[in-house]
Chain A
């Protein structure tokens, strides 16, 4: 269903752009009105392999040949952009298509911006950590080693930006819930609590997704302004848990209702940039925490600091806490083993080094949880052989003392990968 709505939107967009194409190269009125369409994109081959055997997954963690095309044009009153990917995927053994962006942008007055269509949306202060950003992410792509771009999945939404002297307001309306592209078992094996063991392609997660247009919708809002060079923002979200956070009687994963309220600040601290962010996750379908099959309400806190450590060497350190509310009720109602802790602590460390005239980028992202005793490492090397041709190699490494913790469950998915990309 979702694919069809995207295709329909794409056709609509193309019909708007096509007058420009039809007269492209001719002389006269339309040529003046529609500047040439900018066309860009890339072709890429990317492959990865597990560094250990996983009984529930293929040995290849990723193998794909991908092409991305990007079209952009504008008129006096609007801008248009389309960006889409096609790829042959050896893990799913299918040809795949994804609309990354297909939008119209309008700036009708001095105080209003409007962007309609498929778009990638991000806000908040975290570095690869999200507290008040409830826009869809693609964890599967992130964990198998696709380009960083794919960590963010597109939303089909309308974004309104209101700009005033006092503060600015961003309002995003998503008419039909866009979930995270969560772990399903297809690419990545995971801890299956029902089976009491890891599972993968043998137990693909089935979901009962809220998918009614204009009923199962999402609203995200941000009010922000800069005070004495500090960026201050407050956020609100009214929608659903973005990852499976509940279960039906028949064992399907659900996305229960969720409201989120939070705030953040970011600015110069000493020689670096400091950020703080927190949010209250209000799980509406389990207000008192007594339903063990629905995730409890939570508080989430993030504090971070980024600094240039040496020439062309940057580092950032973050401390992140998830605090489960109504924890006693959760423990009382829980059946079975391996309960979650009340607090989950995660420390993230990112280091990036540029060298060879900034053509070589070496980076390491580390997530370590002292409470779960698990970790996730992402070393990566990115080399621009020419302006068009880039080479990349990296790894996704998971450690854990327990099979059920957030990163520990992915232990059998540790992999290395390499990619070649030609951009035009």
Chain B
């Protein structure tokens, strides 16, 4: 049951959200894999018009040494349809990246690279980042850039391989295998919320080498179209790399949705001098 369209179960990144009301568990036969993937993609990266929160990553290497990354993150969607998106990260820790700002204009179209800028305050330098590989580590953690920004649904072919009482289990095979390090990945999508809660990445020979798992999901109150809504949000997740023996726990706190901040926040003006909202 493979479709040519579909969605991605992007990581358990920062903005895992969903419509408030989660009805009865969806029945597999009622939904095509395409619809499941689309909904999961929406939840993983697109709920709410915008969102803000504080991300803390604790990276533990094979020897048990830990390192910490703390940053505030703002995200805003460009229009409807779960397409382009802008995000803003303001770093608090560690010391050598403190007050650095990282702005990304995510392009949903496959042929377009994201635009990325980095601001280094000690040099007052705005650097445009020439990175096209989305499958490299984000700030040295076990999460990849694409886990945070969201992998485009059109990158993979999707197949519903199993429906358990709680989850849809979907196999995702990349259309361009040379551009990624995995052969395929299996996503477990919650049947009630459509939240992707576990991703298993395999290399050749069905060798499982990497897992991302949602460990805590909280319902965050927000307002949408004048009414109160609850967005289920992954507030704690872990990425494990079996090849390197390292893992990263990511917690997401102080979450707010639908703040209504301006598009200008993602321009050079605020890159050089962030809005108060972003710093606190």
Given the known inter-chain contacts A161-B269, A306-B130, A312-B136, please indicate yes or no for A120 contacting B122, CB distance below 8 A: yes
The residues of B with any CB-CB pair to A shorter than 8 Å are 59, 61, 65, 67-68, 93-96, 98, 113, 115, 122-126, 128-133, 136-137, 139-141, 244, 246, 264, 267-269, 273, 276
Q: Does A424 sit at the interface, judged by CB under 8 A?
A: yes
- What residues of chain B lie closer than 8 Å to A34, measured between beta carbons? none
- What residues of chain A lie closer than 8 Å to B244, measured between beta carbons? 357
Q: Please, how many residues of chain A have a CB less than 8 angstroms from a CB on the other chain?
A: 47
- What residues of chain B lie closer than 8 Å to A423, measured between beta carbons? 94-96
Q: DSSP majority for the B interface? A: loop
- What residues of chain A lie closer than 8 Å to B125, measured between beta carbons? 122
- What residues of chain B lie closer than 8 Å to A359, measured between beta carbons? 67, 140
- What residues of chain A lie closer than 8 Å to B276, measured between beta carbons? 74
**Roughly how many angstroms separate A231 CA and B246 CA in the complex, as a whole number?**
39
> What mask results when residues 32 to 45 of chain A are scored 1 for a CB within 8 Å of chain B, else 0?
00000000101000
B122 pairs with A358, CB closer than 8 A: no
Given the known inter-chain contacts A152-B123, A271-B113, please indicate yes or no for A388 contacting B94, CB distance below 8 A: yes
Q: Does A341 sit at the interface, judged by CB under 8 A?
A: no
Interface residue from B122, B136, B268 paired with A149 (Cβ < 8 Å): B122
Q: How far is the CB of B122 from chain A (nearest CB, A)?
A: 4
Q: DSSP majority for the A interface? A: strand
Q: Does A291 sit at the interface, judged by CB under 8 A?
A: no
B115 pairs with A229, CB closer than 8 A: yes
A357 pairs with B61, CB closer than 8 A: yes
**Roughly how many angstroms separate A151 CA and B95 CA in the complex, as a whole number?**
19
Q: Does A386 sit at the interface, judged by CB under 8 A?
A: yes
Name the CB-closest residue of B to A272. B130
Interface residue from A107, A113, A122 paired with B124 (Cβ < 8 Å): A122
- Which 8 pairs, one residue from A and one from B, show the smallest C-beta to C-beta distance? A423-B95, A358-B140, A387-B94, A306-B130, A122-B124, A273-B130, A149-B122, A272-B130
B68 pairs with A271, CB closer than 8 A: no
Q: How far is the CB of A48 from chain B (nearest CB, A)?
A: 21
B269 pairs with A271, CB closer than 8 A: no
- What residues of chain B lie closer than 8 Å to A152, measured between beta carbons? 122-124
Name the CB-closest residue of B to A155. B124
Given the known inter-chain contacts A105-B273, A273-B128, A357-B246, please indicate yes or no for A387 contacting B93, CB distance below 8 A: yes
Q: How far is the CB of B279 from chain A (nearest CB, A)?
A: 8
